[in-house]
Amino acid sequence: MKKFFIAVAILFVVGIVLIISLTTYFGRDIPVPDVSDLAVTQSVKPEDTAYTFFLSANDVLYLPSDPNIVKDYINDKPVDSQIIAEVIAKNEKTLDLINRGVECESCMTPEVVTLDASLSYLSPWHKISMVLAAKTKSERLLGNKDATDTFITLIKFGNLIQKDAGTTIQYILGVSIMSAALEQAQNLVYDDMPREELERLSKTIESLDSPATGLVRAFKYEYKTMDRTVDDLRNGKLILFEEIPLFLQKHMPRYLLQPNRTKLIFADLCRNYIKNTHLYYTDININYPVCIYPSVKSVVSAMNKPNSVGKMLFYILPPASNKLIKLKCQIESDIIATNLIVNIHTYKKDNGAFPKNLQDLVPKYIDAVPVDPFDGKPFRYKPDKDIIYSVGEDCIDSGGSTAKLPKYECKSGKPNRWHLEDAVYEIEKKTESSSQEGAKVQGTTN
């Protein structure tokens, strides 16, 4: 019996040694990965950029007790014109600061260093953009040429925010402001602008920075945040998982979290995002790492795998890259379409009629026929229907169809061109809203 217990003890010790050896072996981390290609630097201090002016504008922003009234006005809903006039008049200082800011070459915001960093300045920027859009509409309906200047301020505002994006949230805000501005520009064109004003619109649109540049920058900054998060988790400075005991998270074994290996997976994923950012939507292929946690129930059973906590971070940190790249393609399409509408109208002023095809605009009005960001083929033009269009997210040319895609059939409310079979842009406005409301608003403001 004594020999039996000795044998069991020896086996137990050997088992423990074997477990420790295997855990140590599989818990080995890799060398620090080279991520120099993901580096992004701020060459200008935030206080020397548009950020300072935009932040000051937040401090003097005025909104009515019901801020939705500005949004309703932009969306052609009936509102009290006196309130809109008051909003425009009381934001004179706010808009002056924005005007000063958009003359800067950059909008470097403070670098985000933690997952819970405050981005409180973004919401007021969105509200300021709505005030600018409302002012553009009001001036347009009055026939005031200042509408072009206000549009230019609005589009530059959004462009600066997206091109120097320090987070994907900032990028989304920037392109949404640009999209709203381009819609106002299209309405300006529909109102039969003088030729010189059309030229100003076209030059401004052509000067915009590529939305791909801003998205790449945002992805790189997201990687920096992921990098810091891994270090904080490794050093016990960050608690992320409710499923894992607090003590274990503060003293994470190397077997469960290998910082360098985790960072390499994140870096490769970010590189894949960036590569796809420069592709047409139909060609994108996001290669996600093999997921080891198909459900929350499997978390415990999966904890015995090397670097399991590092892999678990993929449920928490990576941005929704497909949606962001689709958004990038959408704003690129908006930019292309708006510039085409402007130049089609300029062509009409010079020739008495719209062009028979987009090639007629080359080279006097545009350098070349632009391609659709979704499928890489020339942008579509239907002169018989007075429309131009992109094939949209299904990448199928449906001849300018405005039928809803099956996945969006349950959506109600204001039509969204990106929920339709083709993303259609009108060359001429089919239904004109009354100009009397806008005239009243602007007249009260002046």
- Percentage, residues of the chain above pLDDT 90: 58
Structure-token pair, residue 69: 């009234």
Q: Mean pLDDT, the chain, as a whole number?
A: 85
- What confidence category does residue 401 fall into, taking pLDDT thresholds of 50, 70 and 90? very high
423-426 sheet: strands from edge to edge: 380-382, 387-390, 423-426
pTM over the 0.75 mark:
yes
Helices of type H across 313-421: 321-351
Q: Does 240 score more than 70 pLDDT?
A: no
Q: How far is residue 433's CA from residue 430's CA, in Å, rounded to a whole number?
A: 10
pLDDT at 61: 97
Give buried/exposed letters for 75-105 (b at 16+ CB in 10 A, else e): eeeebebebbbbbbebbeebbebbbebbebe
> What is the full DSSP assignment across 68-105?
HHHHHHHTT----HHHHHHHHHHTHHHHHHHHHHTTSS
Q: How far is residue 209's CA from residue 224's CA, in Å, rounded to a whole number?
A: 23
Give buried/exposed letters for 163-198 (b at 16+ CB in 10 A, else e): bbbbbbebbbbbbbbbbbbbbbbbbbbbeebeeebb
Q: At residue 258, what are phi and psi to the nearest 5 degrees?
A: -110, 100
> Among 115, 113, 157, which Cα is nearest to 136's?
157
Q: Look up residue 312 and give its amino acid.
A: M
Among 95-99, 195-199, 244-248, the least confident range: 244-248
What three-state secondary structure class fits 157?
helix
- What confidence category does residue 445 fall into, taking pLDDT thresholds of 50, 70 and 90? very low
Among 40-54, 78-92, 406-420, the least confident range: 40-54
> Among 276, 158, 161, which Cα is nearest to 212's?
276
> Among 154, 180, 220, which Cα is nearest to 73's?
180
Better pLDDT: 329 or 235: 329
Q: What average pLDDT does this structure show over 405-412?
A: 84
pLDDT at 312: 75
Q: How far is CA 329 from CA 56, 120, 265, in A?
A: 32, 27, 26
Q: Does 22 score more than 50 pLDDT?
A: no
Residue spans of the domains in the chain: they are 46-216+322-445
Among 26-40, 203-217, 258-272, the least confident range: 26-40
Better pLDDT: 100 or 294: 100
Structure-token pair, residue 385: 């229907």
Better pLDDT: 11 or 377: 377
pLDDT at 412: 74
Instruction: Count other C-beta atoms under 10 Å from residue 296's C-beta.
Output: 9
- Percentage, residues of the chain above pLDDT 70: 80
- What confidence category does residue 444 fall into, taking pLDDT thresholds of 50, 70 and 90? very low
> Among 151, 171, 176, 149, which Cα is nearest to 161's?
171
pLDDT at 112: 79
pLDDT at 203: 97
pLDDT digits (tens, 9 = 90+) for 104-118: 999 988 887 666 667
Among 43-47, 233-237, 335-339, 406-410, the least confident range: 43-47
Q: How far is CA 120 from CA 125, 172, 208, 421, in A?
A: 9, 15, 26, 37
What three-state secondary structure class fits 111?
coil
What three-state secondary structure class fits 412?
coil
pLDDT at 409: 82
DSSP state of 426: E
- What confidence category does residue 235 fall into, taking pLDDT thresholds of 50, 70 and 90? confident
Is-cis flag, bond preceding 306, omega within 30? no
- What confidence category does residue 230 fall into, taking pLDDT thresholds of 50, 70 and 90? confident
